[in-house]
Amino acid sequence: MWVETEHSSGSRAMANQPVIRQAGVIAVKNGQVCLVSSRNGKRWVVPKGCIEPGKTAGEIALQEAWEEAGLVGILQGEPLGSYVYEKDGFVCHVILFAMLVTGAVDAYPEAGLRQRIWLAPSVAHSRIEDAGLGDILRNSPLTKAG
């Protein structure tokens, strides 16, 4: 199932801004979803980051799961969908994958910068402020099954 959403301000207001392409994961283990704190610690998000030249969105999604949350796993087929948000005057377009977690460690590259929590999908949804991300989380078959 592919879900594409827009930021609440709508795409017309962002049409002339440069777009930063990102990829991320909704990481699921034992029916729970992993959220990480944003770098400033004020919001809960999923692991995500900028797509780098020469790497696929899937490769970046796996890389960010490791760097931001200390997770390894298996991406589940095609992306779940995408959403758009604004950050520091830029528009970010995020492609999200579902990832079944096969391993987690406590020592990972951004462990000192971020907190990692595991929550039931409905609780995770209530902690996420971004409507586009929330819509994809709510509609994910992995989180519905958990």
CA gap 77, 98 in Å, rounded: 8
Q: What pLDDT shows up at residue 8?
A: 40
HSE of 134, CA atoms in CB hemisphere, 13 A: 14
pTM > 0.95 = no
Tens of pLDDT, residues 46-102 = 999 999 999 999 999 999 999 999 999 999 989 999 999 988 889 999 999 999 999
Q: Any idea which of 11-15, 35-39, 47-51, 105-109 has the lowest mean pLDDT?
A: 11-15
- Nearest residue to 116 (alpha-carbon basis) of 46, 20, 25, 14: 46
Domain architecture of the chain: domains with CATH:
3-145 (3.90.79.10)
Tens of pLDDT, residues 104-142 = 999 999 999 999 999 999 999 999 999 999 999 988 876
